[in-house]
Amino acid sequence: MGNIAIPVCESNSLAEGGKGVRFPVTAGGDDSTGFVVRYDGTVRGYLNRCAHVPIELDWNEGDFFESGGLYLMCSTHGALYTPEDGRCAGGPCRGGRLRPITVFERDGQVFWEPDEYIRPARA
């Protein structure tokens, strides 16, 4: 499998500490979603699955940051993650971390790259 880059959204649709954009993936054979957010000027991508309980984080579609815009938060039990590396910063995630997804920006677009675990969604 070569380096496939799959477009997610326009770069300007991601505001610093603002709403994220979800995209469909297959994670370890299961249908799931990934998401991208902008933090510290950089696009970050993660599997949309809490390290505490395997459920999606956002309470409204795209709402991943807590109100201060400093942490990614699981809406169900309040687990907090640092946006720059996905590590647990508080709450019930206990040293867990979000599964990163390789993302990058080019020509005003955000792309993600599949790896051995996270693959394009099934058609």
Task: Walk along the chain (123 residues) and give the pLDDT tens digit of each residue.
Answer: 456 899 999 999 999 999 999 999 999 999 999 999 999 999 999 999 999 998 999 989 999 999 999 999 999 999 999 999 999 999 999 999 999 999 999 999 999 999 999 999 986
Q: Residue 67 is encoded by which pair of tokens?
A: 């109100």
Q: In this structure, are residues 86 and 57 in contact, taking their beta carbons and an 8 Å threshold?
A: no
Q: Give the residue extent of every domain in the chain.
A: 6-120
DSSP SS3 for 110: strand
Triad 12, 76, 98: Cα angle to 5°: 60
What pLDDT, on the 0 to 100 scale, is given for residue 122? 82
Q: What is the pTM of this model?
A: 0.94
- 10 Å Cβ neighbour count for 87? 15
Name the class of domain 6-120: mainly beta
